[in-house]
Amino acid sequence: MYPNPAARLILLQVMKKSPLFVLFVTVFIDLIGFGIILPLLPFYAQHFGADALLVGLLSTSFSLMQFLFAPVWGRLSDRVGRRPVILIGLLGSSISYLTFGLAQSLPILFLSRVLAGIAGANISTAQAYIADSTPPSQRAKGMGLIGAAYGLGFTVGPAIGGLLSHFGYAAPAFFASALSLANFGAAWWLLPESRDRSEKSRSMKLALSWQRMRAGLKHPELGIFLILFFISTFAFANLEATFALMTARKFSFDARANGYLFAYIGVLITIIQGGLTGRLARRFGERRLIAVGLFCMIFGLGLLPYSLGLKSLLLVLLLLVTGHGATNPSISSLVSQTASTEDQGGILGVAQSLASLARILGPVWGGFTFDSLGFQYPYLTGSLFMAIAFGLSLMAVKRQSNLREPA
């Protein structure tokens, strides 16, 4: 505990005036742990005899739990508040990383990713926290904070994981576990609740509501944003599951080199989502920004496996991550603006469930095409899916233009 109660009270009052900063730090530290594990996971799985398809299934187990639990955490946060759900997730992350480090077989490795998926499913709660704390005009900028935290976590985490991998695959996991536990303690002390008692939903429906998902997809505005979120996440999941395998085969990069590449991706995400997305959304609108971002991702994914060397690989990643960084916060912003105030957590949970479903299917597809067709095909098919999403985004832009036209 803080040694001076008066100083602690003053600090808490400051944090209440800037809760997004505390949330940013909390999510950032949490994603450092995620970033530490990500570049090591394919090599650790191969250590236990897994092929590319099993590596994809390992990612799928994580995403399946996110798919099942994102609406649960979202609705629970509507009921009991955002802070308790975020704290549960941080503690669960610490346990999952500890299990990862102690794994002596592939089934235990799968168990660790299942636990991590359950704990990490509360990202929708963090987004709902932002929706509670920002006006609609600032929503894209607020959602960009999650992306910036994600990017910084990707910058620091993979670099730490790459360095600690020299001491074995367990060492980075133990470090991530300790970091998550420390983050839990700090959030317990500093993170304020974003909702008043009067704002909390009275609904006790915490389970995944298929009716809610169907209703969202049928909604003329919300439906297209949810579909775009699903397609773009599915395509990007091909990269997350197979990127380290692709660079190992094409460039002979090891876990350390891939850690530095993921750190580079993290720097780009931080710059784009933390500094540019909010400004561009205010100037051009979220819908146009989504269309441009998806267009960049078409070529970023398609060109990635044909990079001739490190320099061209870095340039293609710049194009790809720029598109991804512009797209996801803008979609989340539009989803939250469409949802009612008391249902923010539930609707954002549905969006995250669809994204998790995409991460379930994407790695399986990526692993299958990598093994059966060649290392280029996860990215070529991902580019095709992005082209479909781009066409849908143009429909959303046209719809907005038609609504603005005078009768």
Is 15 a member of any domain? no
How many Å apart are CA 225 and CA 223, to the nearest integer? 5
Kindly report, residue by residue over 47-63, the tens digit of the pLDDT.
787 777 787 788 778 87
Is 250 a member of any domain? yes
HSE-CB at 354 with a 13 A cutoff on CA atoms is 26
Is 4 a member of any domain? no
Kindly report, residue by residue over 1-43, the tens digit of the pLDDT.
334 444 443 344 444 446 777 777 777 877 787 778 777 777 7
Is 9 a member of any domain? no
Is 11 a member of any domain? no
Output the pTM of the full model: 0.64
Confidence at 163, pLDDT banded by 50, 70, 90: confident
Is 201 a member of any domain? no
User: How many of the other CB atoms lie within 10 Å of CB of 219?
Assistant: 15
3-class secondary-structure state, position 203 = coil
Q: Among 66, 31, 83, which residue's Cα sits nearest to residue 274? A: 31
Q: Which two tokens stand for residue 222?
A: 């919300």
Residue 228 CA, chain-centre distance (Å), reads 15
* Whole-number percent of the chain with pLDDT over 90: 13
In CATH, what number is assigned to the domain containing residue 63?
Answer: 1.20.1250.20
Is 136 a member of any domain? yes
Domain that holds residue 111: 20-192+208-400
The total domain count for the chain is 1
Distance from the first to the final alpha carbon of the chain: 63
Asked if residue 144 lies in contact with residue 280, where contact means CB atoms within 8 angstroms, the answer is no
Region 189-217: what's the mean pLDDT? 59
Is 365 a member of any domain? yes
